[in-house]
Amino acid sequence: MQPMTQRFTQELRKLERDSHDKCSSCGRSFHEADTAHAGYSINGAPLYVGDCCEAHLAETAARYYWQPRAYEIPEAEAPLWRYMDFSKFVALLKDQALYFARADSLGDRWEGAKGIASNKSKWDEHYLQFFRDGFRNPPPGADFNISEEQIEKEAQRLLCELGAAGEHDIRTTYVSCWHEGNVESEALWRLYCPPQSAGIAIRTTFSALNVSLGDDPSIRIGRVRYIDFRKTFAGVNDAIFRKRQSLGHEKEVRAVIRRFEPSEGLGILRPVELPQLLKTVVVSPFAPPWLEVVLRETMSRFGVHAPTAASELILEPFF
Ligand SMILES: [Zn+2]
C-alpha cells in the first residue's frame, strides 16, 4: 500500500466533490465502509477511485472510509431565492461580496445542535462505547496496552473534546441561506420584506450560485434536511445541514464555509461575481412604487446589469 502524501490540488478537491458517490474511473457506486482513494494518475490527472481502480493511482493523496454526503445537492438549474432588505442589496453591490453569517448569529439557537438536551445521555453513551471499542480493538500493528480504568478515562476525555468541538464549530462556521422554490413565496416576502419596507429578492440557480462563488470546493452548498430531533440526532459532521421540522417551510439551501478560528465580527464577506449570480432581481410586492426605478439606477451606478422584475404577487385578479 503506497503512503499517503496529503497533497490536494484544487482539481482533486473538485473531483472529490463532484464524483463523491462513485469511482471516477469506472463509475462503480460507493457503499458505506468502502474505501475511497484520492490521488493522481501517472500523468498527474486527479483520480477519486474505489478499491476497484486503486491500481490506476501513481500517487495516493489520502484514502478513507467512504461516507454518504452530509447533504443533498440540488439540480444545476434548481431556482434559489434570497429575500432581503434593499439596504442589504446595496451593500452586496458595493462590496461585490456575499455576507456569510456566523452560525451562532443566525437567530436560531438550534443551529449546529446534535439533539435534544434530555436525550444527551443516549448520545454520550453511544460515543463513549465507540471510543472504548476503539481502544479495545486497535488497528493491526498498533501496540495499545492500557487498563480498563485508563480506557474509561480516555473515552471520557474524548467525549469532552467532542462536546467542545461542537461548541467551537458553530463559532467557526459561516452560512449564506437561500430558499429553493419554483415560485415566489408570499410568506417569505412578509417575513423578510414586510409591508412599508423596501425589499427585493434575488433569483438565481444552484449552479449560478456555485459558479459566482468561484466553484470553490471548500464551500459546501446543499439542501438543509429537516429532522425530528425527538427521534434522531444530527451527525457530528452534518449538524450544520440539519434543522427542526418546524422550519421545513424554509426549504433552505445553504452555502457553508468552515474556518479554523472564529473571525472578528459576526460574519465574513466572500467575493462573488454578481453578473453570474443575479439572474433576476424581483421587487417586493409590498415595496413603495419608487423602488423599481431606484433599484435600476443603483445597480447601474455600481456597473451591475441584471434583469429586474415586479413581483407576481401584484397581479390583479378578476372575478
Ligand atoms: Zn473503479
Residue whose entry in the numeric block shows the C-alpha cell 457503499: 31
Ligand 1 centre distance from Cα of residue 52 (Å): 4
Q: What are phi and psi of 146, to 5 degrees?
A: -125, 150
CA of residue 54 to ligand 1 center, whole Å: 7
**In this structure, are residues 28 and 51 in contact, taking their beta carbons and an 8 Å threshold?**
no
Q: How far is the CA of 237 from the centre of ligand 1 (A)?
A: 26
In the reported structure, the alpha carbon of residue 29 is separated from the centroid of ligand 1 by a whole-number distance in angstroms of: 8
pLDDT computed for residue 243 by the predictor? 97
| 147 Cα: distance to centroid of ligand 1 (angstroms) | 42
The pTM score is 0.91
Count the Cβ atoms, other than its own, within 10 Å of residue 274.
Answer: 20
User: Residue 283: what pLDDT?
Assistant: 97
Q: What is the pLDDT of residue 93?
A: 98
Per-residue pLDDT tens over the stretch 13-45:
999 999 999 999 999 999 998 999 999 999 999
Three-state SS at 52? helix
Task: Report the separation in Å between the CA atom of 24 and the middle of ligand 1, taken as the mean of its atom positions.
Answer: 7
Q: What is the Rg, in whole angstroms, of the alpha carbon atoms belonging to the chain?
A: 23
How would you write the pLDDT of the chain (319 residues) with one tens digit per residue? Answer: 889 999 999 999 999 999 999 999 999 999 998 999 999 999 999 999 999 999 999 999 999 999 999 999 999 999 999 999 999 999 999 999 999 999 999 999 999 999 999 999 999 999 999 999 988 887 777 767 788 999 999 999 999 999 999 999 999 999 999 999 999 999 999 999 988 899 999 999 999 999 999 999 999 999 999 999 999 999 888 999 999 999 999 999 999 999 988 888 899 999 999 999 999 999 999 999 999 999 999 999 999 999 999 999 999 999 9
Rounded-to-integer distance, Cα 160 and Cα 154, Å: 10
Supply the pLDDT for residue 263.
Answer: 81
Distance CA 241, CA 254 (A): 8
Q: What is the 134 CA–ligand 1 centroid distance (Å)?
A: 30
Do 115 and 228 touch, CB atoms closer than 8 A?
Answer: no
User: 44: CA distance to ligand 1 center in Å?
Assistant: 18
Place of cell 459576526: 266
As to burial, measured by CB atoms within 10 angstroms (0-12 exposed, 13-18 middle, 19+ buried), residue 48 is: buried
The number of residues in the chain equals 319
The alpha carbon dihedral of 61, 66, 70, 72 has a sign of positive
